[in-house]
Structure 1
Amino acid sequence: MSWEGITEFVAVVEQRSFTLAAKKLGISTAKVSRQVNLIETRLASKLLNRTTRVVTPTDVGQQFYHQCRHILDQLEDAERFVSDQQLAPSGKLMVTAPVTYGERIIAPVINDFLAEHPRIEVRLNLTNQVLDLVQDNYDLAIRLGHLESSSLIARRLGNRTLYTCASPEYFSEYGTPEAVSDLNRHQCIAGTSAHWQFKVAGRVTTHRISNPRIRCNSGIGIRDAALKHLGIIQLPDYYVAEDIGNGALKAILATQQIDDDGIWAVYPQTRHVSTKVRLLIDYLIEHLYR
């Protein structure tokens, strides 16, 4: 069996484009096309349907792709196994995390991790989009809250607490809400969602902030407004925990606060998890909230 063209064929199917496949592999589009043509000639079978907009596998091409993908996965596992036997782990890690949580929490811990592992490189992409780890070639993603069902492996890194709070000066002037319904009489500052979460009578409920004084799609901007006594906010702990701790903000409605949800490290399911990924996850678990 010849291996020639297998990698190129798999990349074309996954990217649905010769151009994007070439970009992913770091070679020319002409070479990708030539290698795929060689496979089709060798097998005497049409594997791809080509149009000006998209490339899709034929029925036999789809089956061939699954077999090839399985073989390449096994080869990558074998290479990772050999690489992981080195005394010092090395190589590149592709990581993604939400923007603000990544800036404030994840990036500093990863920087400390890299200081301890000088042969490891990290490419950290901060985005609030939920990326396809397999298609986009990421080793690890940090995700917050409820996880949708998927084939990814998840390890819990810690918990996230949602606080409803404002400055003591605000409460001194306008009074302190004693119940969720009292929020209707207050200046509230909303983010991308105007629905705040609470736990009432043992059940999670939502309260709509119908006429927020400020609406802002930045947690940092919302926090700043609260610190300047402009109203009540609801944000996760990594925005406001320090402010609550030093008295700049005061948390309210503690008995209606929802249970903590999770902070997760997720990664593609393979038989052999690389030492680099395992080391980084263990480091995050140990150092995120020490």
Structure 2
Amino acid sequence: MGTLVNMAAFVAVVEQGSFSQAGRELRQSTAVISARVAKLETEIGVRLLYRTTRQVVPTEEALIYFERCKNILRDVENAEASLTPPDRNPRGSITISAPVSFGRRCLAPLISRFCESHPDLQFRLQLTDRLVDLVKDKVDIAIRMADLDDSTMKARRLAHDHRVMCATPEYLARAGTPEVPADLLKHECLLLRFPGSTQFQWQIIEGGRLVTVPVKGNLDTDNGDVLTDWVLEGRGLAVKSVWEIIDDLNAGRLVRVMLDYPPNSHPIWAVFPGGPYPPPRLRLWIDHLVGAFQSWDPHHPERFG
């Protein structure tokens, strides 16, 4: 068992690029991580890392050994997961990636309440509106609001993300209210856009069909909260999830438009890497997440779980 613990320390150092960062990842001191790697080198009789004051560089042998160690540790974790009783209290960390607004408003409170009854679990909540690579970014679970096309991942459906097109009454009084898709080209459309996007376009439902409509605007961002700020400032039209702006809709600060041509909406998914035996901590959290969202109401997004 000691060798496995030392392997885990070695893998963390290579992945993180430093002893101190590996220590933070494993919640151990730098000295402990360094001692574990040194002991592993002694056990196998091979130098694995070149250490300087500024960096840690794997040896040629270490790069081969690193991949083998990762496979061994993954096999051990899967083997333990297949035997773990469902009522046992899992330990370890769970890294979750979620869109900024959704993570802050919906997931963070749910995680906080869950930790009260599971103190041996550690959560790392990463908030970004970008699409993350679960394997590359070492993410256990990602929340996606989209149609899924990656068959290598597993997914559990949480809820439906109902979206609307909206603007402030002041903007509509100044620029007019769009009634048909062609009218959108006459308006400032506020856009959620990421590097690599080559077109400005929205997808709407027209006569039961999904239609892509070109739009234009002077403002685009990769952050959903910024987009909300802009639409509330009267800068133009935006497509937003109901749960994000329900208070503004109820208060009259925002108005729904194009009701006969609603924006395309998507399910909300919990996505995680495929495999026969997810670790017990992930099974426990995912099951809780799915169960909690059964009572989720986008008109009252904080009141659930």
TM-score by length of 2: 0.70
> What's 1:277 paired with?
285
Q: 1:251 to 1:70 in 2, by over 3 A?
A: same
In structure 2, the gaps of 5 or more residues are: 194-198, 298-303
For the structure 1 residues 278 and 175, does the alpha-carbon distance in structure 2 shift closer, same or farther, using more than 3 Å as the test? Answer: closer
SS across alignment from 2:217: coil
1:61 aligns with 2:62: yes
- Any idea what the Cα deviations from partners look like across 1:148-190, whole Å, max 9, x if unmatched? 748442222222233222245654565321233323434x362
Alignment of 1:17-36 (within 5 A): 17-36=18-37
Separation of aligned partners in 2, 1:6 and 1:229: 56
Match of 2:237 in 1: 232
Shift of 1:29: 3.9
Residue aligning to 2:186: 185
Residue type matched to 1:125 in 2? L
How far apart are the structure 2 equivalents of 1:62 and 1:150?
Answer: 29
CA deviation profile, 1:72-110 (whole Å, cap 9, x unmatched): 223334555665443666776443422211222323444
Instruction: Give me the whole-angstrom Cα distance separating, in 2, the residues matched to 1:112 and 1:41.
Output: 44
Instruction: Tell me if structure 2 keeps the 8 A contact 1:16–1:56.
Output: no
2:157 aligned partner:
156
CA distance in 2, matches of 1:245, 1:102: 22
Going from structure 1 to structure 2, the CA distance change for 1:206 and 1:84 (only over 3 Å counts) comes to farther
Aligned pair count reads 285
Q: Is the 8 A contact 2:144 2:268 kept in 1?
A: yes
> Is 2:267 the counterpart of 1:262?
yes
* CA apart distance, 1:137: 6.0
Q: Structure 1 stretches of 5 or more lacking a match?
A: none
RMSD over aligned CA atoms reads: 4.1
CA distance in 2: counterparts of 1:210 and 1:246, whole angstroms: 26
Q: Secondary structure at the match of 1:64?
A: helix
Q: Secondary structure at the match of 1:143?
A: strand
Q: Secondary structure at the match of 2:3?
A: coil
Q: Structure 1 vs Structure 2: percent identity of aligned residues?
A: 29
Deviation digits for residues 236-257 of structure 1, max 9, x if unmatched?
A: 2222345546765432234443
2:9 aligned with 1:3 = no
Match of 2:215 in 1: 208
Equivalent pair of 1:104/1:238 in contact (CA under 8 Å) = no
In the superposition, relative to structure 1, how do residues 136 and 207 fare at CA in structure 2: closer, same or farther (>3 Å)? closer
Q: For 1:238 and 1:177, how far apart are their aligned partners in 2?
A: 23
Counterpart AA for 1:267: F
Name the aligned partner's letter for residue 190 of structure 2.
A
C-alpha distance in 2, partners of 1:114/1:53? 36
Verify: 1:12 aligned to 2:19, yes or no: no
TM-score calculated relative to the size of structure 1: 0.73
Give the direction of change, closer, same or farther, for the CA distance of 1:263–1:56 in structure 2 (3 Å limit). farther
Q: CA deviation at 1:266?
A: 1.9
CA contact 1:97–1:124 (8 Å) conserved in 2: no
Q: Looking at CA atoms only, which structure, 1 or 2, has the larger radius of gyration?
A: 1
